[in-house]
Amino acid sequence: MCPRQDLTRPVGEIDMELFSRLADEISRQAPAEVRLHKDGEPLLAPHIFDFIETIKTVAPSTLLNMDTNALLLDGEKSERLLDSRLDVLLFSINAATAETYKKVRGSTKFDRVTANIERFLEMRRRRGYVWPTVKVQLIVMTETRNEIGLFKEQWGSHEVDVLLIPAINWGGHRPEVQSLMEMPARRYPCTFLFNSFSINWDGKVSFCNVDFNHLGVVGDVNEQSIQEIWKSPAFERYRQLHKQGRWDEIDLCRDCNYWAYTRNVWYPHPRKGWM
């Protein structure tokens, strides 16, 4: 779950003018995937359905993905999501019982969330749709590990992909998170630096999507193009530090365990030393 309680930077919503400028760039670049979420609930964004429509119009081949906690997913929003051309919708549930949901979410709305998801799935079934692809997620940690079987049982009979995701420590800034992730014996460069980045609500670009306090800003789309930021010296510096095994010099990476969630793409190249 996004650690919003630890935010020390301003919060807000991306405005439509900035998003439209980004969409214009996206139309020319046609990236493989765009995800419409970061550090918050996308269904709270007043223009979220405009965002979906805009991206699918300018970049129809781009995989458009959105995560939601489903708390606000009423019938009307379900209809609009089904009418949209969203490709992948992930429901971040992270519990199989109301008791555990309250522990990990601090909320008593478990029954409402599951009912919202089940209604959405039934509406999709009645329409005969196979889109969007629906995924349901359980973050595996000490509090949820004993509910893995029950979670699979609850959702296994639905037309969904069941995801079991190991908990991460958010760049080492949430050390109390008890992850059950099996860590590789040797650390390797994080793949995210080489295939993705995050555009924050105010236009600042972070090199990592767990950068909830904007400690790894490498550019600003209010002043630079996406391509300029991607190829910038600031971004390249972080990549080189990882390739040289010097992640301890990066505050966001020093104690992070998120790198182990990525595939070791360096494995076929033993001459680089990453095995």
Helix (H, G, I), strand (E, B) or coil at 261: helix
Residue 160 lies in a domain: yes
Cis amide prior to 189 (ω within 30 degrees): no
pLDDT, tens digit (0-9, with 9 covering 90-100), for 180-219: 777 888 899 999 999 999 999 999 999 999 888 888 999 9
> Do residues 143 and 187 share a domain?
no
**For the domain that residue 223 is a member of, what is the CATH number?**
3.20.20.70
**Entry pTM:** 0.92
Mean pLDDT throughout 131-136?
Answer: 98
Does one domain contain both 184 and 107?
no
What pLDDT does 275 receive? 41
Instruction: Assess whether 55 and 110 both reside in one domain.
Output: yes
Position 214 scores a pLDDT of 87
Q: What percent of the chain has pLDDT above 70?
A: 92
Give the mean pLDDT of the chain: 92
Asked if 197 and 214 touch (Cβ cutoff 8 Å), the reply is no
Residues 91 and 142 in one domain: yes
Whole-number Cα distances in Å, 128 to 53, 119, 250: 21, 14, 49
Burial pattern 153-183, b for ≥16 Cβ within 10 A else e, equals ebbeeeebebbeebbbbbbbbbeebebebee
Q: Which residues contact 225 (CB under 8 A, 6 or more apart)?
A: 25
Least confident stretch, 64-73, 89-98, 266-275 = 266-275
The H-or-E segment that residue 275 falls in is none
Owning domain of residue 252: 179-275
135 plus 224 within the same structural domain: no
The pLDDT tens digits for 42-76 are 999 999 999 999 999 999 999 999 999 999 999 99
Task: Tokens for 226, please give them.
Answer: 């996406």
Q: How many Å apart are CA 117 and CA 121, to the nearest integer?
A: 6
What is the rounded average pLDDT of the residues 225-245? 97
Residues 273 and 232 in one domain: yes
Domain count of the fold of the chain: 2
